Amino acid sequence: MCRSIKTLRPPLLDHEATEDDVRAAALQYVRKISGFRAPAAHNREVFERAVDEVAEATRKLLEGIEVRGAGARK
């Protein structure tokens, strides 16, 4: 697990996840699994596309999660 990625769902996050939160998590994930902090020019397009796709999947996940219990919110 990449320790730089934080939990983005309430109530573990004290606010709604922002686009910046989602993008940062996606970037950290792609960096971790690719082994590149910054890709070489010939890998940049596929790297950025992966970040976009992970961010989109993250947004869909967060939108679909139903949080139950006292003090929970969606």
HEC assignment per residue over the chain = CCCCCCCCCCCCCCCCCCHHHHHHHHHHHHHHHHCCCCCCHHHHHHHHHHHHHHHHHHHHHHHHCCCCCCCCCC
In the chain, how many domains are there?
1
pLDDT at 72 over 60: no
Whole-model pTM above 0.85? no
Q: Residue 40: inside a domain, yes or no?
A: yes
Give per-residue pLDDT as tens, 29-62: 999 999 999 999 999 999 999 999 999 999 999 9
Domain carrying residue 34: 19-64
Q: Residue 24: inside a domain, yes or no?
A: yes
pLDDT at 28 over 60: yes
pLDDT of residue 11: 76
pLDDT at 1 over 70: no
Q: Residue 26: inside a domain, yes or no?
A: yes
Q: Residue 27: inside a domain, yes or no?
A: yes
pLDDT of residue 66: 86
